[in-house]
Amino acid sequence: MTILAVLLTLALTPQAEKQDRPRVPEDSVELTVVGCLKGRAFTTVPQQEADVQRGPNVGRRTFRLAGKKDVMDEVKKLDRRLVEIVGIVKRSSLDDKGVKVGGVAISGGSPVSPSGSGIPTAVDNTAVMDVSSVRQRAASCTPQ
């Protein structure tokens, strides 16, 4: 009977861990970054020594946030505050868009708007982060 209980515990443990953390697709990366919330937009702040960061350094970048209802409710509550966010972003969204020569970016081709209008908007060019958690770091958006 004791052996059966141990085997059941071992069989259920990996599944519980999988439910706590979402699986990261091969074409994506999980980030832990600090920045300022403004609605559903999240702008990272310059990295400081004390900041916890997981994943590649994304520099100063803006993400459009998406996530489950309870997480997005927390994002709304923390509007205009300095927060730490854990989320998943597609690797292609983090790639530089071309090579800069004399202030001009040269890339493989012009972007096409998913809306079909042919002209990309700022929303089309903003990376989307699928947020799994958000935690307040300060009451204002000024990094400390």
What range defines the domain where residue 89 resides?
22-95+120-144
Q: What is the pLDDT of residue 46?
A: 76
Per-residue pLDDT band for 19 (boundaries 50, 70, 90) equals very low
For residue 75, give Cα distances in angstroms to 1, 35, 84, 131: 47, 12, 11, 9
Domain assignment present for residue 2? The answer is no
CATH of the domain at 142: 2.40.50
Q: Taking 70 as the threshold, does the pLDDT of residue 82 lie above it?
A: yes
Count: domains in the chain: 1
What is the rounded distance in angstroms from the CA atom of residue 24 to the CA atom of residue 97? Answer: 23
Residue 38 · residue 24 · CB < 8 Å: no
Name the more confident of 39 and 116: 39
Q: What is the pLDDT of residue 113?
A: 47
Q: What is the pLDDT of residue 67?
A: 94
Per-residue pLDDT band for 78 (boundaries 50, 70, 90) equals very high
Single pTM value for the model: 0.65
Domain assignment present for residue 38? The answer is yes
Domain assignment present for residue 29? The answer is yes
